Structure 1
Amino acid sequence: MNLNVGIDVSKAKLDFCGMDSDQNVVFQDSVANRPDGVKAIKQDILDAYKKLTYERVIVGLEATSVYNVLASYELTNDDKLEAVGIEVVTLNPKMTHRFSQVYDQDKTDSVDARNIADFLRVGRYEVPVPRDERHLALQRLTRERFHLTKEITWCKNHFLNNLYYKMNTIDAELPTSVFGATMMTVLTDERYSLDELAELPLEQLTSDLNTLGHGRFGDPEAVAKALKRSARDSYRLDKQVMDSVNLVLGMYANEIRMFSQQLKQLDKSIAALCEATPEAKCLRSIPGIGPVYAAGIIAEIGQPERFKNEASLAKYAGLVWRRSQSGNTERQATPRVHSGDQYLRYYLVEAANSVRTHDPVFEKYYNKKYREVPKYQHRRASLLTARKLVRLVLTLMKNHQLYDQAKLV
């Protein structure tokens, strides 16, 4: 006999329901989403366990933004609950929602809590999520880094869109990135109009670039020539429009600089925390995986023993493709599932792209997958290479061993 405790999580309250294996409701109530509310849930579980010693006590909470994290952490790290062998699992809301649609019921928080408990009773829930302090600390850093990189990409796209108004041929002409510190300063500088830039002597522009870049340009004369060509060949806008464009470009340039600086600070903190993580040594032995990618993978995987094989880890990361078969026909091209841990998938894909530039085995596999299709080659090959990396990552973490290419091959 198992005790299944479903908790419907919201920002303000926790609706919970305890159900045994025979679908009998043992207890049900609603408490505030605060430590004293979780304490009441703990007491109900312990009281029920005293009356009947259950074989397993399973507590399930839906992944509801950040609102379920603290409550599940509080339940996981309780000595009395640990003594009764409690299992705390985080559930995919899509799965519990589909399960509840089987029943023709009203949609209330108390009904949702009961349906979650019933879903746990069926036993089709996913792998439990780690909630120990070490992995939670890493998650806070690596997940914020994920969002920060998205913000940088967003700002860069808008910077390029507005730069097109000012110098629409710059991408084709410039031999260096427009996102270098010096280039962003030059491109947002209002000291020269396009006509003045086109007529400016090459020697003076080269000297200005050397001054702004503190002599860091490899070939400042080539950059100066490219700027003059772009200024000469671009469309001309009136001063009022150009002032607006320059203002927007300056704003995005400042945001990119600020986010880039924050990214450096995050990477430094992640690297320091990664040094104190034993599993990081195993992953960092793989060529191309540094402390940031290793920390991102470890933070989401947690204890590798949670996964019975590499297929379950790939499913957890959302690196699986659904099978579609009917009769004697089986579809060859199927879409990837749009679920799973997006943070783990991101760090696996980024790590795989780095590993393939250092390891010939992964490079050969990536190139093979790249040539198999006529479009979306890089995206498809990157995802499949990340799927291949999953097996290596899980093997090293479970066996606590270092990467040995010859041995593993």
Structure 2
Amino acid sequence: MKLFVGIDVSSQELEACFMNADGDNFESFTVPNNLHGASHLRDRIVVAADKLAVSEIHIGLEATSVYSWHPAMYFHQDPALRERKTKVFTLNPKLICKFREAYADMDKTDRLDAWVIADRLRFGRLTTTLVMQEQYIALQRLTRMRFHLVHNLAREKQYFLQNLFYKCNAFTTEVDSSVFGHALMEMLSEKFSLDDIAEMNVTDLADYLRDKGRNRFPDPERVARCIQQAARASYRLSKVVEDSIDLVLGTSIESIRSIQKQLKDLDKAIERILDGIPGAQCLLSVPGIGKVYAAGLLGELGDIERFKDQAAVAKYAGLTWRKHQSGAFEAEHTARIKSGNRFLRYYLVEAANSVRLRDEEFGEYYRKKYNEVPRNQHKRALVLTARKLVRLVDVLLRNGQLYTPRRKVNSAKN
């Protein structure tokens, strides 16, 4: 016999519902969403489990932002619950919402939500327990913060270029975008006017770029001439507007530098945790998967044994296509599911794009899929290549083996 505990989570309270295998609700109550409330709920679960002599306890919570994380981890790690073979599930709210639709005209209350969650647990067929070990959670927090900062950096650079157009509107057409970096930011932060840049000696400007760019420009003289050409071709601003734009550019530059420094600190912390996680070397052995992609994949996947097989991993990432079949008809073109872990999907797609450039097998597969359709070739081929990468990642992590190019790996045993 199993005990099913559905918990509706809010920022303030945990609404619990105890249900047996027959679907009978024999206890419902509310506790605060804090350590004392979770401890009291744990005690009630233990008492009920011992009274009913259950063989297993299933606890389910909706993944409601950050509110469900602490209770889920508490119940997952509690020694008394572990002794009683407890599994903790954090459920996608969409799953619960669709399950609720089977009950016509049901009211929407916290107590009924807890009952629906418990009944969904009783129904079973849940692919994975989504509570991960602490090392994976720590890595996930870092990689998601890095994801956030990278997108902020791209947005800040775009904002910088928009304001740069006011100061030097010909920059985007005359200067290669690859020169955007430390040297250009140093030049603009020192508030050179367009006339100052236009009148500088090309050799002096090239030396300035060489120094500030740390000798990263392959041809500093050419870059210097392009910058001067852009400065001479641009509109001139009044003093008051130019001062304002200089201040905006300077502020944007400081934001960019701050984000870049934060990214370096995060990368060091990610590398420290990654070195101690099993499976990291398996992913790093794949050409094109570096430490950033390996950390992102492991941080979202956790222990691969949480998933039944590679198909479950693909579904978790949202890289699954619905089938549409009726009688003898079966649709050739179907839509990808819109659910799934968007962070895992992001890292799989980005990693697939990198791997297909470095591995012959993945490159051939990408080109084959690219040539199959007349529209959206790259996007479609890349997503399908990511789906192929899921199979490789699953095999490597499940078997603990390194990737050997041009050699087929054995399928993992389910």
Task: Tell me which interval the TM-score lies in, with the shorter structure as reference length.
Answer: over 0.9
Which residue of structure 1 aligns with residue 138 of structure 2? 137
Which residue of structure 2 aligns with residue 250 of structure 1? 250
Which residue of structure 1 aligns with residue 367 of structure 2? 367
| Aligned counterparts of 1:375 and 1:163: Cα–Cα separation in 2 | 35
User: What is the root-mean-square deviation in Å for CA atoms of aligned residues?
Assistant: 2.2
Which residue of structure 1 aligns with residue 32 of structure 2? 32
**1:243, distance to aligned residue in structure 2 (A):** 3.0
| Aligned counterparts of 1:326 and 1:239: Cα–Cα separation in 2 | 71
Which residue of structure 1 aligns with residue 111 of structure 2? 110
Instruction: Report the CA distance shift for 1:237/1:373 in structure 2 as closer, same or farther (over 3 A).
Output: farther
Instruction: Specify the SS of the correspondent of 1:407.
Output: coil
| Aligned counterparts of 2:231 and 2:321: Cα–Cα separation in 1 | 48
| Aligned counterparts of 2:199 and 2:375: Cα–Cα separation in 1 | 43
Instruction: Specify the SS of the correspondent of 2:7.
Output: strand
Instruction: Report the CA distance shift for 1:379/1:248 in structure 2 as closer, same or farther (over 3 A).
Output: farther
Partner letter of residue 163 of structure 2? N
Q: Does 1:287 find its partner at 2:287?
A: yes
Q: Where do 1:10-409 residues align within 5 Å?
A: 10-103=10-103, 104-175=105-176, 177-193=178-194, 195-326=195-326, 329-408=329-408
Q: Give the gaps of 5 or more residues in structure 1.
A: none
Partner letter of residue 378 of structure 1? H
| Aligned counterparts of 1:85 and 1:388: Cα–Cα separation in 2 | 35
Instruction: Specify the SS of the correspondent of 2:218.
Output: coil
Instruction: Report the CA distance shift for 1:123/1:387 in structure 2 as closer, same or farther (over 3 A).
Output: same
Partner letter of residue 184 of structure 1? M
Partner letter of residue 248 of structure 1? V
**1:270, distance to aligned residue in structure 2 (A):** 0.9
Instruction: Report the CA distance shift for 1:159/1:323 in structure 2 as closer, same or farther (over 3 A).
Output: farther
Cα offsets for 1:202-260 (capped at 9, x unmatched): 23322332343344432111111111222233344433333333322222221111111
Cα offsets for 1:122-150 (capped at 9, x unmatched): 22444211332221221221221121212
Moved more, 262-271 or 225-234: 225-234
Kept after mapping to 2: 8 A contact 1:178/1:184:
no
| Aligned counterparts of 1:252 and 1:331: Cα–Cα separation in 2 | 51
Instruction: Specify the SS of the correspondent of 2:178.
Output: coil
Partner letter of residue 84 of structure 2? V
| Aligned counterparts of 2:201 and 2:238: Cα–Cα separation in 1 | 24
Kept after mapping to 1: 8 A contact 2:300/2:343:
yes
Which residue of structure 1 aligns with residue 412 of structure 2? none
Instruction: Report the CA distance shift for 1:304/1:11 in structure 2 as closer, same or farther (over 3 A).
Output: same
Moved more, 1-10 or 374-383: 374-383
Moved more, 333-342 or 61-70: 333-342
Instruction: Report the CA distance shift for 1:383/1:246 in structure 2 as closer, same or farther (over 3 A).
Output: farther
Kept after mapping to 2: 8 A contact 1:58/1:87:
yes
TM-score by length of 2: 0.91
Identity of aligned residues (%): 48
Moved more, 133-142 or 378-387: 378-387
Moved more, 159-168 or 391-400: 159-168
**1:184, distance to aligned residue in structure 2 (A):** 2.2
Instruction: Specify the SS of the correspondent of 2:11.
Output: coil
